[in-house]
Amino acid sequence: MQLPSSLLENAVNEFSRLPGIGKKTALRLVLHLLKQDVSEVLQFGDTISRMRQDIKFCQRCLNISDADICSICANSSRNQHLICVVENIRDVIAIESTQQYNGTYHVLGGIISPLDGVGPDQLSIEPLISRIQKEETEELMFALNPNIQGDTTIYYIQKKIQQFSCKVTTIARGIAFGGELEYADEMTLARSITNRLPIGQYVK
Amino acid sequence: MQLPSSLLENAVNEFSRLPGIGKKTALRLVLHLLKQDVSEVLQFGDTISRMRQDIKFCQRCLNISDADICSICANSSRNQHLICVVENIRDVIAIESTQQYNGTYHVLGGIISPLDGVGPDQLSIEPLISRIQKEETEELMFALNPNIQGDTTIYYIQKKIQQFSCKVTTIARGIAFGGELEYADEMTLARSITNRLPIGQYVK
């Protein structure tokens, strides 16, 4: 694609380096920005730059934060002895949007995946262990994606913390609400049968 | 969607104002940028801002340009008496990528579409007419999308310039290369029969 201006070409190249955005989509986005007011586009560029420069990661749970300690960790009305272990920040946002969880988080920054070259050392597992020790955590709840890598990560961390008197749980796996039994995969259906719940607990 | 940082939230809001990008995609893009080096993200923001501030539109054909006159208009080896009328800059890029056209362009900035509230006054039709008069254009070739709005725009401009001795043509409409006759719509098929070509002209 031959572009009539090097300024335009640079902008298209920058956009097309974002995930899921090819050259044609990048051009569409850049031409859209060209139609906007100069001030709006300057604000766009400035907001992105400032976000990257000024954003912090919570020193305790590694969640994204405007301050040294994130708003969740700093909230004393939340249960500070319950830690939910998640893979990334998107999972924090997903769980927070349920408004059903009142503890803190710990963001691993990935999951153990030897095929992708990700081992335990690249994840924030050591900080999690020292945090459990220091804060006398009562419960560690895993909310990792249900796959082999997720299960491996759970198994690894569980082994590492078995000397502490910390309860270890994982979010329930089973048939999703609105799902249909006949289309569920065998593994999910089998697990949901093994882990069946008393009706009283289900409707609670 | 509750985000843990106002810096993050502002960046997501800016991205989600782009066409075809919702909140979830915007968040994915922003989290991707967060993983990049600070210098790379600053360059991203700077490139976008500079593009909008410094880009110019060719004073002759209204194509995007780094200078007052675009590289196509400034190229003396191109036929300066042949003007291809297009709707927008994307069409210029599409035609240039064929490497089959050696004239100049005129970017209308849209097409006449009363339903969308776009009349002739909002398009660069007056500059086109004065350009034809001044430059003694030999041929005006329309390359507009084949629909009612495109045909209306062609008809309007043709009426306006009939006093000049300028040949008016339009790019051929017919069955696309690789297309199948049985799936072509009736209008296209009918036109391609009406405008059938001598074989000598077709294979030229």
Residues of B in contact with A14 (CB under 8 A): 43-44, 47-48
Domains of chain A, first to last: 6-54 (1.10.8.420), 78-171 (3.40.1360.10)
How do residues B129-183 score in pLDDT, each as one tens digit?
999 999 989 999 999 988 889 999 999 999 999 888 889 998 888 877 777 878 8
Kindly report the CA angle at A20 between A14 and A22, in degrees rounded to 5?
55
Q: How many CB atoms lie within 10 A of CB A121?
A: 8
Of A10, A31, A51, the CB nearest to B8: A51
Cross-chain residue pair A63–B4, CB shorter than 8 Å: yes
Average pLDDT over residues B77-106: 91
Which residue, among A67, A140, A148, A73, has the nearest Cα to A115 in the 3D structure?
A148
DSSP assignment of B16-71 equals HTSTT--HHHHHHHHHHHHHS-HHHHHHHHHHHHHHHHH-EE-TTT--EESSSS-T
Around Cβ B47, how many Cβ atoms within 10 Å?
Answer: 19
CA dist., res. B96 & res. A111, Å (int): 47
In whole angstroms, how far apart are CA B101 and each of A121, B63, B77? Answer: 58, 16, 12
Residue B51's closest CA among A47, A1, A6, A26? A6
B128 secondary structure, DSSP code: H
B51 with A7: Cβ contact below 8 A:
yes
Residue matched to tokens 């994130």:
A70
Residues of A in contact with B34 (CB under 8 A): 51-52, 55, 64
Give the distance from residue B31's alpha carbon to the nearest chain A alpha carbon, in angstroms. Answer: 8
Q: Is the pLDDT of residue B197 over 70?
A: yes
Positions of chain A with pLDDT lower than 50, given as ranges: none
Cβ pair A18:B27 closer than 8 A? no
Using alpha carbons only, how large is chain B's radius of gyration in Å?
22
Report whether A174 contacts A195 (CB < 8 A): yes
Q: Give B-chain residues touching A8 at CB under 8 angstroms.
A: 51, 55, 64
Instruction: Supply the pLDDT for residue A29.
Output: 94
**CA dist list (Å): A43 to A8, A201, B8, B76:** 18, 51, 14, 39
Spatial contact of A173 and A154, defined as CB atoms under 8 Å apart: no
pLDDT given at position B63: 92
Residue of chain A nearest B62, judged by CA positions: A4
- Cβ-based contacts of B6 with chain A (< 8 Å): 66
pLDDT at B203: 56
ipTM of this complex prediction, to 2 decimal places: 0.78
Residue A84's pLDDT is: 94
Average of per-residue pLDDT across B48-70: 91
Of B31, B64, B65, the CB nearest to A89: B31
Find the residue in A nearest to B74 (Cα).
A4
What pLDDT does A201 receive?
Answer: 65
> Chains A, B: CB contacts under 8 A, how many?
169
Contacts of A151 (CB under 8 A, 6+ apart): A144
Q: CB–CB of A48 and B27 under 8 A?
A: no
In this prediction, residue B14 carries a pLDDT of 94
Q: Using an 8 Å Cβ cutoff, are A119 and A110 in contact?
A: no
List Cα–Cα distances, A121 to A117, A125, A159, A160, in angstroms: 11, 7, 15, 13
**How many helices, marked H, and strands, marked E, lie in chain B?**
8, 6
CB pair distance less than 8 Å for A47 and B5: no
